[in-house]
Structure 1
């Protein structure tokens, strides 16, 4: 994702396998460019957009897999965006980009459509334009369609403020490109003279109630005629059942199957299902992620991602109400709320969750349960409790290497954490429910969080990595029980000289310790720190201090960096200060 401003560009890279998002900022700094990555800063010569495009080219040239989403946001006058699009065209001319979905926010339509012709036609499935730069001319879409080669087939979404008569005439011509635009949705705020527009569009479009206008084109490509299949005789069916309902033979078959094949096989008949339930085949799930989306205090959408060890995956979406526009893409399933009385989409999701993981015996790489909300102060306690109950109904605790849990309190986390196998869990990640919004406009606030009870669980005590970067942990450092971790990345409310001394003397004794990165909002660190741990090896302007301490009986040192500089984010708000403890080899120190 990239966000362009008049004076800077924000570049975000999300790695779905590692569940991480890295942000790099390129900002004008006189005749130079200031590049910011986390707490690191680098000044390079030249215009900020040139520095960004050079890095972008490196990233895209080395990209091997298909991107899920490529997003471009334009803020300000659009000058930086225009230069980025020009540079993108040059980059993509040399290397076609494979991406499933492209989203443009407040960008120029002609610029966006020009970029599409350089994308891999076999992979592109979804194209989105949100509030394009004014004035919006729908003829620019038509010009873009004409420049595309054969083979492009994608769903197109357009959100605009208003639609007039000229726009409707241009939109009418979209039907000529039904082989390219398989589905079309146009969202608008203002639409006058509906009766007149209905007459113009004739039977090509359907104007629906409310503020949403949605139209789906019929696919004009003919579907190849299917070869006539031979009728299965009773003898063939009896033979098939004798194989599939035989536990010995079925066991041999299931050894080669994973979750999705097992689910299909269960649909054959009752006898096959019974046989599978007796054998309890491992579905070989690598990662199971569920994201609960809330509107006000009500969950209105759930997204589940299932990745198998073979590399196959499925995305399942559960919706609060039927959305006629949503059409499943490849590897994607949709469930609407057309369920029998007494059931809702949350229960269906949790039932699927339980049945899918019921016989999982091999260790999963990731289990992720996260929440997002349009508004703050939403309670997830009941939902977390139900998820915990599902996991606790298993015959054995679920084996997971990394657990990522979104919550607003440690008790919500406890419901899920306590059901995980204590010997398998290596990484614990605690993340708050995030609030949806435009990148660069996030509402950064303090989110107090306690870990005093979590830190007493067997799962916590056996884990090797702790990540809690967005909560303000208010539990005192000495009460967190974190000395056994190898890697820690946390944000605390406050830190003192005594806390630093406590970590320094204890990490010198730890055989597991690798790196502790602790951000803090407030500090009582003063000159007493020098009396406790000694004078720093190096001091930089009284805001950055460096220490080295030899780890007894080893060729390693603890490298401590205390950074109390006032660093602001792109919105001008102060970032938390930072102290980092790192195990380093002697040859990487000044004492080698």
Structure 2
């Protein structure tokens, strides 16, 4: 006989209902979609039932699981409309609780005159055989999402492919780790596009696989719509063939139809509705289409172009990857609409590289890795008028080759922010003279050393630079060489800081139109107490730091002798 069912009987008829059952050691909760919770608490052979939101309470001298099951059974039998979701989870894996709840649900679902309609189910409480026996009592036409936890994936696939009556399912498998035992059935799933619409697999433990190895393992399955992350993989299956497959099947008449797209007037309209990544895919369809697109010279709206090389922890200990030229290069392309794609270029020696979960595509270059990266840079930026950020890493002669690409353009590429990892000042001169509109430059040396920036500072391209950061290196030029009055931000390290340098900085920093922050590190401090007598500080801690305030210029100066830098900034 139901005990508290009358409290929530209206939920048996309400639309768009979600229901969560949580089975714990000494309590069972029923949670409805509006965050209403009914609690069944076990207490010395009795059961307390309460609905806090409605201020309802009662107590019966019966076991908790029996009381809950009678109410839950009544709900399942009388449910009239479709349930958005039904979840039965647990924090206590007691066999008695599990079997009693299972018998209750099976009895209720069999007692119905029609099958229960549910869109999403997750029955973590039950074993696989119990789970499958309950699914068979649901309406397959309505069930769209199923979540399995620590299940026999092979058995689940076999059952669903024969039971679901061609209603395509979204399935989630939660497993301990991405072992071959767990991943092998995924290859089978990808062969059932009529059964599965989307498949996700979540891992509790860290993933020892890398993305490229995982893709290779799943071949020859079609992975044109998939997501790979460290603790999750996702596949979106399509019953329709993808573009390359359709192209392979084209007859001569179909090929001629395809060539209609090579008409510049039509292609111009097509290009307006797609982004850079779609355009690059379209270029691969046929030579005529590629020629047509290139002749139109579309602006691809690239916001950032980044070529980066990083070592994982395993690389640092690897002799095979000791040469920098052997390491993979990642190219990140970010569009103005914030779409992003990463392509990894790697040679044969770096096939086992691990940190690749952020990568969207892999390109094998054999012994021509740098040449392929530069060739794609040319193709991708050929018709681009300007980009916000260009970030480059020194690798062999790569910067020289990229400089040749920039030099060959009819009009210089506009770049607002230039970021470079370099070996020497020549690397900067390979790039900076062949771009324009640069407002920010950030330079980092691959190894600590000295840079002579005389040529760089005298370039016309340096005229508009307002922010300059030089890191991991000491600049051999004097402070006066920088013409500091044009800068908003400046961070450099010089060989020595003298009294004349401080006076020069104090007199000229106030002439900056939009001063934000200057940080000048130094190797040697050539200053004696005459500085503090000629320009008395607001506060000084001898041999540690001194602070000056100049209210008329709204200027603050900090000389930090302990950490070898001088700092300038404006204050309100």
Mapping of 1:26-425 within 5 angstroms? 150-152=172-174, 185=208, 226-227=239-240, 238-242=256-260, 244-292=261-309, 295-296=322-323, 298-321=325-348, 332-338=360-366, 344-361=368-385, 363-371=386-394, 382-421=397-436, 424-425=437-438
Deviation, structure 1 residue 233:
7.1
Structural RMSD (CA): 3.9
- Deviations along 1:276-296, whole A, 9 cap, x unmatched? 121100111111111246733
State the match for 2:546 in structure 1. 545
Alignment match, 2:451: 449
Mapping 1:569-580, distance limit 5 Å: 576-580=563-567
Distance 1:284 1:383, change over 3 A: same
Structure 1 residue 265: deviation in Å?
1.4
Q: String of CA shifts for 1:159-213, please: whole Å, max 9, x gaps.
A: xxxxxxxxxxxx89777997656997589xxxxxxxxxxxxxxxxxxxxxxxx9x
Name which of 434, 445, 468 aligns with 1:466.
468
Partners of 1:355 and 1:480 lie apart in 2 by: 36
Structure with greater proportional helix content:
2
- 1:559–1:298: structure 2 CA closer, same or farther, 3 Å change rule? same
Q: Distance in 1 between matches of 2:531 and 2:384?
A: 50
Q: Quote the Cα distance in structure 1 between the aligned partners of 2:268 and 2:275.
A: 13
Q: Which residue of 2 aligns with 1:582?
A: 569
- Quote how far apart the aligned CAs of 1:394 are: 1.5
Residues in 1 aligned to 2:382 and 2:364: alpha-carbon distance in whole angstroms: 24
Mapped to 2, the partners of 1:491 and 1:309 lie a distance apart of 35
Structure 2 residue matching 1:289: 3-state secondary structure: strand
CA distance in 1, matches of 2:406, 2:326: 21
Paired residue secondary structure (1:262): helix
C-alpha distance in 2 between matches for 1:529 and 1:173: 74
Distance 1:541 1:282 in 2: 59
- Assess, with a 3 A threshold, how the Cα gap between structure 1 residues 562 and 184 changes in structure 2: closer, same or farther: closer
Unaligned 5+ segments in structure 1 are: 1-143, 157-170, 188-211, 372-379, 435-445, 566-575, 586-592
Query: 1:361-382: per-residue Cα shift (whole Å, max 9, x none)?
Result: 1x312100124xxxxxxxx563
* C-alpha distance in 1 between matches for 2:464 and 2:234: 58
What is the CA deviation profile of residues 242-282 of structure 1, one whole-angstrom value per residue up to 9, with x for unaligned ones? Answer: 3x222222212212332211111112222212211211001
- Aligned pair partner of 1:476 in 455, 460, 478: 478
- Whether the 8 Å CA contact 2:488–2:514 is kept in 1: the answer is yes
Indicate the residue corresponding to 1:18 in structure 2: none
- Corresponding residue of 2:131: none
How much does 1:236 deviate?
6.0
Number of aligned positions between the proteins: 359
Query: Matched residues in 1 for 2:180 and 2:287: separation?
Result: 51
CA separation of 1:519/1:184 partners in 2, compared to 1, >3 Å: closer, same or farther? Answer: closer
- Per the TM alignment, residue 524 of structure 1 is displaced from its structure 2 partner at its CA by 0.9
Provide the C-alpha distance between the structure 2 equivalents of 1:172 and 1:276, rounded to a whole number of angstroms. 44
Deviations 1:335-389 (A, max 9, x none): 1235xxxx6111111100111110001x312100124xxxxxxxx5633211211
Number of the residue aligned with 2:8: none
Secondary structure, in 3 states, of the residue corresponding to 2:487? coil
Structure 1 residue 297, shift from structure 2 partner: 5.6
- Paired residues of 2:554 and 2:570 also in contact (CA < 8 A): yes
**1:192-239 per-position Cα deviation (integer Å, ceiling 9, x unaligned):** xxxxxxxxxxxxxxxxxxxx9xx9589999996724799877666545
Tell me the TM-score normalised to structure 2 length: 0.55
Quote the Cα distance in structure 1 between the aligned partners of 2:241 and 2:328: 41
Aligned to 2:110: none
Distance in 1, matches of 2:176 and 2:485, equals 52
Using a 3 Å threshold, how does the CA distance of structure 1 residues 322 and 276 change in structure 2: closer, same or farther? same
Kept in 2: contact 1:451–1:480 (CA 8 A): no
- CA gap of 1:152–1:302, structure 2 versus 1, over 3 A, is farther
Secondary structure at the aligned position of 1:264 is classed as helix
Deviation at 1:323, TM superposition (A): 5.7
CA gap 1:501/1:223 in 2 versus in 1, 3 angstroms: closer
Once the two structures are TM-superposed, the CA of residue 414 in structure 1 deviates from its matched residue by 0.9
Q: Report Cα offsets for 1:504-557 as digits up to 9, x if no partner.
A: 11122232433211122321122222355x211222355221112255xxxx51
Q: Per the alignment, do residues 352 and 224 of structure 1 end up closer, same or farther by CA in structure 2, a change over 3 Å counting?
A: closer
Shift of 1:150: 4.8
* Aligned-partner SS, 1:359: coil
- Taking the aligned partners of 2:378 and 2:176, their CA distance within structure 1 comes to 34
Residue 491 of structure 1 and its aligned partner are, at CA, apart by 2.0
Q: Distance in 1 between matches of 2:483 and 2:350?
A: 48
SS at match of 1:399: strand
Tell me if the contact between 1:184 and 1:216 (Cα under 8 Å) persists in the aligned partners: no
Match of 1:432 among 416, 422, 445: 445
Cα 1:335–1:517 shift into 2, 3 Å: same
Corresponding residue SS for 1:453:
helix
CA contact (8 A) 2:284 2:290 kept: yes
Secondary structure of 1:364's partner? strand
Whole-angstrom distance in 1 between the partners of 2:336 and 2:209: 39
Larger Rg: 2
Equivalent residue of 2:410, what SS?
Answer: coil
What is the SS of the residue equivalent to 1:536? coil
Structure 1 position 241, deviation (Å): 2.9
**Could you state the TM-score of these two structures normalised by the residue count of structure 1?**
0.54
CA contact (8 A) 1:485 1:513 kept: yes
Equivalence for 2:133:
none
Structure 1: how far apart are the matches of 2:390 and 2:469?
Answer: 15
